[in-house]
Structures are given as structure tokens and as C-alpha cells.
């Protein structure tokens, strides 16, 4: 029997509105998150889909305490973290990590990979510097980069190598959660599969929970346990992968699916014709 899922992060009615000033100086409100409630369990990978501007990155930034909410709660490991001050949040910061779409701009150009990974461990007080240095090499190995990458600068590395390093940097402080914000979207097709396989391996080997944002529904189907669908700041659908892909309830989800899997039924028919 499978163990009951343990909630790691609970988001309760998270709401975030940006006040924008239009060119006519009229104030307009842009609701990026509209009463979003969800649960992320330990060790699971949750796929997050939704059109551009639907609030996916804002949700990630809110969970990581990089953006304030107007209202709502974020509970991590039983503690409400959304209302904490910057200093109160400090002990939690290392446990909640992010990997961005563009690995080049997410690294400081003046820092070697070793410095970047050490910097990511600066709030890890239980390890001394020598132990952290050894850990840098272990982390590089874990993402299949040789030890020579420790002394390299971002400009000396390819996009795929940098994204591996970004994953190592996110893993460095021993997090419970990583928000992967379209981590393969900026990479060449040939490299994407390698990064996906790396993430799948990390899923098996660690108990880290992932939110994986992608516009690629095929990829989401491949990597996620559960799927969340956002539309204009609202969570319009959530459920097990099979449920979302086989029985989408919301019109927007149905539209997304038919746009991705268009022609699939026809191709399947054509195949069965040629096979018989
Ligand atoms: N700092 C900001 N100031 C004002 N508006 C913002 C800010 N950040 C995001 N927004 C607005 O909030 C909405 C949600 O943006 P968000 O970046 O979360 O969407 P997204 O789902 O991640 O989109 P994409 O798929 O393009 O990355 C958008 O309308 C965006 O313009
Ligand atoms: Mg985004």
C-alpha cells in the first residue's frame, strides 16, 4: 500500500494584484494570483501549465518569498511563511529553491561555479567551508559535470552545462522544494532531453518536491505526477495526470490539450490502417 501523501507546502487563497499605470495615467489592476489554493506533497512533481501571463511565475515567486501577497497564506512544513519578515524567513530560504528559464542570466558573470554553489550554501550553518567545498564537487557530479567545471565562469559554459549547474546550485542547500520555471525552454532540443532525464533521476534519488512549469504538455505528461492548470490568475483545474489528460473538465484545459495533441487521433487511425 502506498503511504499517505504528506503535505509540504499549502497555499491558501493566495491573491496578488499589480497596480499598473496605463499610458493615459489611469490606474489598472492586474490580478496575477486570484485566490489560489493548492497543496504540494513531499517528493511529488507537480506540473504547472497555463498561457503566458496566467500567473505561474508569480506563484513561484510568492512561495519563495520573493514577492508579497495581498492576502492569503503559504504554509511550509506547518509554518506560515508568507507573513514573515525577511529576517524571520531566513531559516526557510535555503529549503525553497528555484531554477529559471535562462541559465546564463541567472548566474553572476563574475563568479565561478564553485563560488556560485558556495554562495547558495551561505545559510547552511551546519557545514564548514572545507565540507562545503567537497560538497560542490559532489553536486557537480550529481548533475553529471566533471570537477573541472568548479573553476569555470558562466561564459565558458554551454546553455545545457549552465542549466545543470543551476540545478546543482538549487540542490546545494539541501532544499525540500524546487520551483522549476520552464527549465528547458531556452535550451536546444538536443539538450532538453538530457536535462529532463537528469531531473527524472533526481526525482527518484531525492525526496525533493518539484513544481515544473512548462508550455509543453507532452513534457508535463512525461514528468509530472499531478497537474495544475492556471488561467488568468486562477487555478482552473488540478488533478492526477491521468485525470487531466484523459478527462479534462475545464474548457481552457480542453483547448490546451486539443492544441497540443491535435491530429493525434487521426494519426493513430492512419497507423492502424497501415498496420492492418
Ligand atoms: N513585477 C510586476 N509588475 C507588474 N506586473 C507584473 C509583474 N510581474 C508579473 N506581472 C503581471 O502579472 C501577470 C502574471 O505574470 P507571470 O509572470 O506570473 O505569468 P506567467 O504565467 O509566468 O507567464 P509566462 O508563461 O509568460 O512566463 C502578467 O499579467 C504580468 O504582466
Ligand atoms: Mg513565467
Residue-wise pLDDT for 184-239, tens only, equals 999 999 899 999 999 999 999 999 999 999 988 889 999 999 999 999 999 999 99
pLDDT at 265 over 60: no
- What are residue 180's phi and psi, to 5 degrees? -95, 105
Ligand 1 neighbourhood includes 56 CB (under 6 angstroms): yes
pLDDT at 3 over 90: no
Residue boundaries of the structural domains of the chain: 7-262
| pLDDT value of residue 2 | 59
What is the β-pairing status of strands 226-231 and 234-240? antiparallel
- What are the pLDDT digits (tens) for 48-65? 999 999 999 999 999 999
Ligand 1 binding pocket mutation candidate from 47, 52, 58 (most atoms within 8 A of CB) = 58
CA distance 165 to 21: 39
The residue with greater pLDDT, 243 or 116, is 116
Q: Looking at the domain covering 7-262, what would its CATH class be?
A: alpha beta
Ligand 1 neighbourhood includes 193 CB (under 6 angstroms): no
Cell digits of residue 138: 559532489
Burial call 215-241: b when 16+ CB within 10 Å, e when fewer: ebbebbbebbbbbbbbbebbbbbbbeb
pLDDT band at 257 (very low <50, low <70, confident <90, very high): confident
Contact 243, 250 (CB under 8 A): no
Ligand whose nearest atom lies closest to the CA of 54: 1
pLDDT at 164 over 90: yes
pTM: 0.92
Distance from the CA of 78 to the center of ligand 2, in angstroms?
Answer: 27
Q: Work out which ligand 1 atom sits closest to the CA atom of 233.
A: 14
| pLDDT value of residue 147 | 97
Amino acid at each position: 500500500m502506498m503511504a499517505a501523501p504528506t503535505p509540504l507546502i499549502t497555499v491558501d487563497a493566495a491573491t496578488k494584484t499589480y497596480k499598473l499605470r496605463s499610458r493615459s495615467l489611469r490606474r489598472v489592476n492586474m490580478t496575477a494570483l486570484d485566490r489560489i489554493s493548492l497543496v504540494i506533497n513531499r517528493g511529488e512533481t507537480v506540473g504547472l501549465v497555463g498561457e503566458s501571463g496566467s500567473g505561474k511565475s508569480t506563484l513561484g515567486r510568492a512561495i519563495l518569498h520573493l514577492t508579497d501577497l495581498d492576502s492569503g497564506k503559504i504554509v511550509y512544513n506547518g509554518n506560515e511563511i508568507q507573513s514573515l519578515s525577511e529576517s524571520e524567513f531566513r531559516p526557510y530560504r535555503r529549503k525553497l529553491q528555484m531554477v529559471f528559464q535562462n541559465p546564463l542570466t541567472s548566474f553572476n558573470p563574475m563568479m565561478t561555479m564553485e563560488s556560485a554553489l558556495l554562495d547558495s550554501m551561505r545559510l547552511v550553518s551546519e557545514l564548514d567551508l572545507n565540507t562545503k567545498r567537497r560538497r560542490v564537487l559532489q553536486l557537480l557530479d550529481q548533475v553529471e559535470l566533471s570537477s573541472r567545471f568548479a573553476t569555470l565562469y558562466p561564459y565558458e559554459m554551454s546553455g545545457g552545462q549552465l542549466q545543470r549547474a543551476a540545478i546543482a546550485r538549487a540542490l546545494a542547500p539541501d532544499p525540500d522544494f524546487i520551483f522549476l520555471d520552464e527549465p528547458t525552454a531556452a535550451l536546444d532540443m538536443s539538450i532538453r532531453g538530457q536535462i529532463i532525464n537528469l531531473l527524472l533521476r533526481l526525482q527518484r534519488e531525492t525526496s525533493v518536491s518539484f513544481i515544473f512549469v512548462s508550455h509543453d504538455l507532452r513534457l508535463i505528461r512525461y514528468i509530472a505526477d499531478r497537474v495544475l492548470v492556471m488561467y488568468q490568475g486562477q487555478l482552473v483545474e488540478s488533478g492526477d495526470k491521468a485525470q487531466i489528460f484523459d478527462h479534462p473538465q475545464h474548457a481552457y484545459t480542453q483547448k490546451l490539450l486539443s492544441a497540443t495533441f491535435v491530429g493525434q487521433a487521426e494519426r493513430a487511425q492512419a497507423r492502424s490502417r497501415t498496420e492492418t
